[in-house]
Amino acid sequence: MEAKTSLLDNMIGVGDMVLLEPLSEDSFLENLRKRFDHNEIYTYIGSVVISMNPYRSLPIYSPEKVEEYRNRNFYELSPHIYALADEAYRSLRDQDKDQCILITGESGAGKTEASKLVMSYVAAVCGKGQEVNKVKEQLLQSNPVLEAFGNAKTVRNDNSSRFGKYMDIEFDFKGDPLGGVISNYLLEKSRVVKQPRGERNFHIFYQLLSGASDDTLEKLKLDRDFSKYNYLSLDSAVVNGLDDATSFRTVKNAMQIVGFMENEVQSVLELVAAVLKLGNIEFKPESRCNGTDESRVKDKNDLKEMCELLGIEQAVLERAFSYRTVEAKLEKVSTTLNVAQAYYARDALAKNLYSRLFSWLVTRINESIKAQTKTRHKVMGVLDIYGFEIFEDNSFEQFIINYCNEKLQQIFIELTLREEQEEYVREGIEWTNIEYFNNAIICDLIENNQNGIMAMLDEECLRPGTVTDETFLDKLNTVCAEHQHFESRLSKNSKFLNDHSLPHSCFRIQHYAGKVLYCVEGFVDKNNDLLYRDLSQAMYKANHSLIKQLFPEGNPAKVNLKRPPTAGSQFKASVGTLMRNLQTKNPNYIRCIKPNDKKAPHIFTESLVCHQVRYLGLMENVRVRRAGYAFRQAYEPCLERYKMLCKRTWPHWRGPARAGVEVLMTDLQVPSDEFSYGRSKIFIRNPRTLFSLEERRRQCLQDLATLIQKIYRGWKCRTHFLLLKKSQIVVAAWYRRYAQQKKYQRIKSATTVVQSYTRGWQARKLLRELKHHKRCEEAVTTIAAYWHGTQARRELRRLKEEARRKHAVAVIWACWQGLKVRREYRKFFRANAGKKIYNFTIQRIMQKYFLGLKKTLPSMSPVDKNWPARPYHFLDTAHTELSTIFHLWRCKKYRSQFTKEKKAVYEEKLEASELFKDKKSLYPSSVSQPFKGDYLEISKNPKYQKLNSCVEEKVLLADVVNKINRANGKGATRILLLTKKNVVLADQKTGQVKASVALPDLTSVSVSTQNDGFFALKLKEGSASAVKGDFLLSSEHLIETITKLHHIGSTASDDGEQLNIDISDEFLVQFKQDKVCVKFIQGAQKNGSSVSCKRKNNRLLEVSVPASA
């Protein structure tokens, strides 16, 4: 694993200012500059981190960096904000100490980014899991929401926090986050209605107009053009590096992750739109008859749209802008508002509406991210609050912001010194108090309850009579005139009365960060922060759900005549609570410094940085750290780092770490006054001593490196030699093996050749012997064959001679017998010769006839009509009878092969023949076609499952037919089902039954003689099926359909009557009450022509059938 560099290794400049030598303001600034130029933006002052804003992205915040600093000692690696975050997190997790991270600095110094980095690091190193990841994601995503509504572009910072934020992140005993609580301090709500030149309003206004969809803007009654809204500054509406449209999508996504509902997001956007609309409302003066001035709204369109957004009656809000009601005990006085007062009321409403919306957002986020368990939690607080501000025009907001920074500076000095003292006491080290500037006197000037500036401002706001900013300044001049940190034209600290740098309406305070000139104009109004009761009540009457929550004081049933607390007193109480909270936690400091005012990278303005170093008290902090001991380190890492400097501790020390350090320091002869031993750490007084140790360590490391190189090279050479030796042995062994293999191959080859010659000689010798033996055997066989042949020929000649003799005897005997027979026959020939010859001849002819018939019988097919021709006329009767008998026998044999189903099919074919043969032109083409019956496979096809379930009996025929419409002669596709009891017609697409006819209600079926598929089902008059009349149908399987109808109709008839089949080219069909004649004519044969049906008149349908080819 790669070794990590420590605070003292390969450092650019000095990583810890405590070790800076010599220590002066110039060397301090030069060290900061040197590190800044090399992108080293973090520097330590002991445990305090100085952060320089680089104004650009640096590759030092990757996941690899997070892992590098995870669970590392604070000084183990180079300075980084991750080191401080890790130290705080581990102290909270392992030592059960509540932590707080205080991030301070000027506006634009990078405080907000620093707080994000701290939170992202803690989120990365703590535990994993679905619930933990959800909590971490909600905590991180709360930042974009609060930045959009609470940050704005200023002349010093493009993303300046215009509110103070303190987040307490709560952890369980394992160090996993459970939730958090956010506190906000003093939103700069005056920015809503007015922005200084070169600055913008809050980000959310520009993000909404740039990033919302057209539909959203239409619902909110907004336009994308910034120039149409009086509350938006135009000279800085677009900021380089800020994509408002993308930011808006990020904010909406963050709100969903945090837990905002869709209706809540919409309500928030409606209130933002209402603030923009509110700024466009303008007033005109009107004079009343009694001479008083009053105001009226100029253009009521924006007022109307705002009222529609918030659900307020237009007349109610318009009156609230024109009149003010003052209540005193039981009396109510209503006065008119002039134009200036109306504009004041409008702006006050806009500021209060936005400020209360922001507070509601913080409360809503807290509800989502708060810890669910009620057990004790460990807490890490992160404070990101506005920095010290010095503008050209400093007002009430800058006054209380700088007051907050004074309090933070005070707690920083106290806690830093206290921490230093506590460490020396804890380690048993002697300590001498160090003098430092304590800004408690400035805090007392501002917050003293008796004669502090804020107390006098509250007193001035509450006293009866005429109260103005000038009377407040007069009071300050009276009470604070002798205070050494307060200056005005009338105070004793001003150098001369005609000092033009100090106007009459201003006062100056010497803060820890420098002198700030405050203009008292607006102090009283901003401290009062009044919203007329009429406007509160008008807001409470809104139908908008969120508005009622934001203005509870507008409820008429809860009217409170008590004056609300002033803005200054509320902020003072909040700061006091914050300070008490911080003092209960272990502090960790990040001091942010802005390198230049141009917000540009690579620029280091020394005067600006020097000013910040001074007012942040960084030099005093270094001196406090160096007053006792400049460097301290635990015994274990100290011994590990310097053990190579002493032979007794190198390479391993077996005893306690402190004893090893003591041996080391004694052996190095370090003066005893340069260091002290604490309980767990060694303290080094002078940085030069530390640098001397580092120099010795560096030299020793070089010597050790040389030794290691020497040993390594020797080992490498020996290893190489042994490898060569081993390789030579291996090569020799392989060569000897190869040589022996080659020798063995030669011997083996020679042996094979000798063996092959020997085997060849033996084989040839054996072959010669076999051939000689074979010739001997063949000679014997040939001689024997010749001898046997001779013997056989002799015997054959003998047998032939004997046979000739026997044949001669037989011939002579036959001639003798024939002579005797002829002599006897001649005696009786004349009496019986004719009859016998006749009978013999007939028998021979019949025998020949039957044998010939056997050979010429026709095939066994019953339809084969061939029969052999008779040979003689006298056999006519026998020949015919035999033909009949053979045909009957052949039919019987053929019928014996039939199954029951096939027999029924042929019976139907026979019945069709009886019905249509020589009567219907379509019949011959149907003879060769088998009767299938169920052409639709209705029981198997899922499409007709519903139709099949409607039919109870077995389906004998299922086919698609066309039902002819009498109105136009066109056909509608139907499904025809035939069962033993019914004829069913159903819709082909839906399967819905259109008609069901019981077979007994069917009287006859009419068809034509032509080559068409039309047929008419005629129903009994008066039957239930005959309500709509007869059915005229067309089918491609007409012969089968009519045959099955005829066969089943005869069976289903109650009286046994057969169904009448009427075959005619004209027949009548009953359609409801009318009878229509259907006439069939023969048309000309055309390409692609088919049977067509046309309506000629109300009483005639003409069917044109193409002539057969």
Catalytically annotated residues: 107-108, 112, 157, 160-161, 387, 389
Q: Which residues of 102-113 are buried (b: 16+ CB within 10 A; e: fewer)?
A: bbbbbbbbbbbb
Residue 126 is classified by DSSP as S
Examine residue 942 and say whether the peptide bond preceding it is cis (omega within 30 degrees of 0): no
**892: helix, coil or strand?**
helix
Which of 331, 302, 327 lies closest to 314, judged by CA? 302
Residue 1055 is classified by DSSP as S
Tokens of 783: 């001689």
**CA atoms of 185 and 164, how far apart (whole Å):** 5
Q: Under 8 Å CB-to-CB from 895, ≥6 apart: which residues?
A: 903
Residue 920 is classified by DSSP as -
Q: Under 8 Å CB-to-CB from 109, ≥6 apart: which residues?
A: 51, 53, 387, 592, 593, 594, 612
Burial of 449 (C-beta count, 10 Å sphere; 0-12/13-18/19+): exposed
Cα–Cα distances (Å) from 549 to 266, 363, 543, 564, in that order, read: 16, 12, 11, 18
DSSP string, 13-76: S-SBGGG-SS--HHHHHHHHHHHHHTT--EEEETTEEEEE--SS--S--SHHHHHHHTT--TTT
Q: Which residues of 331-344 are buried (b: 16+ CB within 10 A; e: fewer)?
A: eeeeebbbbebbbe
Cα–Cα distances (Å) from 552 to 110, 535, 558, 922, 1085, in that order, read: 38, 12, 8, 94, 94
CB of 64 closer than 8 Å to CB of 52: no
Tokens of 43: 């520097």
Q: Under 8 Å CB-to-CB from 864, ≥6 apart: which residues?
A: 858
Half-sphere exposure of 36 (CA within 13 A, CB side): 24
Amino acid of residue 215: D
DSSP string, 826-880: HHHHHHHHHHHHHHHHHHHHHHHHHHHHHHT---S-TT----PPPSSGGGHHHHH
Residue 919 is classified by DSSP as T
**CA atoms of 356 and 371, how far apart (whole Å):** 24
**CA atoms of 414 and 595, how far apart (whole Å):** 27
Tokens of 800: 């032939």
Number of helical (H) and strand (E) elements in the chain, helices listed first: 30, 31
**CA atoms of 152 and 154, how far apart (whole Å):** 6
Half-sphere exposure of 629 (CA within 13 A, CB side): 25
Can you list the alpha helix ranges (DSSP code H) found in 159-220? 203-211, 214-219
Residue 918 is classified by DSSP as T
Which of 557, 566, 555, 548 lies closest to 533, judged by CA? 555
DSSP string, 948-991: HHH--SPPSEEEEEEEEPTTT--EEEEEEEE-SSEEEEEETTT-
**596: helix, coil or strand?**
coil
**561: helix, coil or strand?**
coil
Half-sphere exposure of 448 (CA within 13 A, CB side): 13
Examine residue 871 and say whether the peptide bond preceding it is cis (omega within 30 degrees of 0): no
